[in-house]
Amino acid sequence: MTKPIHFYDYSKDELTKLLTDWGLPRHTSDQIFQWLYKKKAKSFEAMTDLSKTLRENLAQKASLSGLTLQTKQVSQDGTAKYLWQLPADEKGQTAVVESVLIPMARDEEGQAGRYTACLSTQAGCRMKCTFCATGVPKFGRNLSPAQIVGQMLGMEQDSGTEFNNVVVMGMGEPMDNYENTLKAMRTLHDPKGINLGRRRITVSTSGLIDHLVRFIKDDWPVSLAVSLHSADPEIRSKLMPINRSNPLDKLWKVMKSYSSKRRLPVTLEYILLKGVNDRPEDAKKLHSYCKDLLCKVNLIRYNPVPSLPFDAPSEETVKAFREDLKARGMKVFLRERKGVDIAAACGQLGYENKLEKSN
């Protein structure tokens, strides 16, 4: 069975080469790329400045979709969670993946004026962080560039909004799907593509050190966030098994290298877990770890996941932890909870869904 051609899998240069090999002039790729990312066509038929014959031929050879919308849930706070069906793989196994539309700043009438897209890069996750729902089911698969970018385009088309920011903080470890995620990020950044600046795209990683070294060398057009969650090696290893092979001291060095070369701060994500990493001594260790590191800390209240043995600290504890860090001179922010009631918040994606099944 021939693997289907999805145009969103191709960079501008790759698409030009593909269409040239098909005997089409170079300017046709410019037209199609504009339809894909500027005009956001839903079909080849919509590409009206192409001949009818060409549109019909393209529809026979290629596809504009690698995702099928299965369900959509909307939270009381306006957050929307999308469940996408992936096509069957060579073994006949299907999978699903979730992404989230997050309303941000609101006007005087309470209407959202900015939106953030939270994208996934894998169906499931191999990192198995103990506080995260995504790692509970069996790992499904890596997503293609078309499936990563397609989440954003699909949410825009469904909601009638355009995204100001993208965070790659959904299901999966982006660095564990390195090539496909990089290609998707370059498309989001490409001036002829989605045209988002690197400060408008944030990729979050659990800290795969060898991949991060490559990430810096390849100059991904994004900002970097690292899931830290503890500056105590023993606690972090219990929360994140990856810490055993990618320890905190080596992770610090690669983050230092990134901030020095890119002159951008690293965002350190820190989920507060009751009685685990929310004590004054934890704040002290975090401050010590961040010394001489250009960074900011994003505190996240733990969001409940059935079957996982964690709770969120009290609001008093959360605020005390934040104020402790501020008093130590750190840049610290407390992430607003969004979409908790539909399991769309940080750490909740994927648990409710079976990630693979037979057709």
Is 3.20.20.70 the CATH classification of the domain at 68-358?
yes
Spatial contact of 181 and 167, defined as CB atoms under 8 Å apart: no
Spatial contact of 117 and 151, defined as CB atoms under 8 Å apart: yes
What CA–CA distance (Å, rounded) separates 28 from 238?
Answer: 54
pLDDT in tens, 146-165: 999 999 999 999 999 889 89
Beta strands in 87-184 (DSSP E): 93-103, 115-118, 122-123, 141-142, 165-168
State percent of the chain over pLDDT 90: 86
- Put residue 190 in one of left, alpha, beta given phi > 0 → left and psi -120 to 50 → alpha: beta
**Alpha carbon separation from 355 to 27, 141, 142, 314 (Å, rounded):** 41, 9, 12, 33
Can you say how many angstroms the Cα of residue 101 is from the centroid of all Cα atoms in its chain?
12
pLDDT in tens, 87-143: 888 888 889 999 999 998 655 555 557 899 999 999 999 999 999 999 988 899 999
* Annotation: CATH topology of 5-63: DNA polymerase; domain 1 (1.10.150)
At residue 313, φ and ψ (nearest 5 deg) are -65, 165
The residues that are catalytic are 98, 346
What CA–CA distance (Å, rounded) separates 19 from 58?
Answer: 10
What CA–CA distance (Å, rounded) separates 167 from 318?
Answer: 24
Identify which of 55, 59, 69, 46 has the alpha carbon closest to the alpha carbon of residue 4: 59
pLDDT in tens, 26-47: 999 999 999 999 999 999 999 9
- The pairs formed by 56-64 with CB atoms below 8 angstroms and a separation of 24 or more are 58/32, 61/5, 61/22, 62/4, 62/5, 62/6, 62/7, 63/4, 63/5, 63/6, 63/7, 64/6, 64/7, 64/8, 64/36
Q: What is the pLDDT along the chain (359 residues), one digit of tens a residue?
A: 457 799 999 999 999 999 999 999 999 999 999 999 999 999 999 999 999 999 999 999 999 878 999 999 999 999 999 999 998 888 888 899 999 999 986 555 555 578 999 999 999 999 999 999 999 888 999 999 999 999 999 999 999 988 989 999 999 999 999 999 999 999 999 998 999 999 999 999 999 999 999 999 999 999 999 999 999 999 999 999 999 999 999 999 999 999 999 999 999 999 999 999 999 999 999 999 999 999 999 999 999 998 899 999 999 999 999 999 999 999 999 999 999 999 999 999 987 664 444 33
What predicted TM-score, i.e. pTM, was given to this entire model? 0.93
How do the domains of the chain map onto residue ranges?
A: 5-63, 68-358
Pseudo-torsion of CA 357, 172, 6, 8, nearest 10°? 150
**Alpha carbon separation from 85 to 94, 97, 147, 151 (Å, rounded):** 8, 7, 10, 11
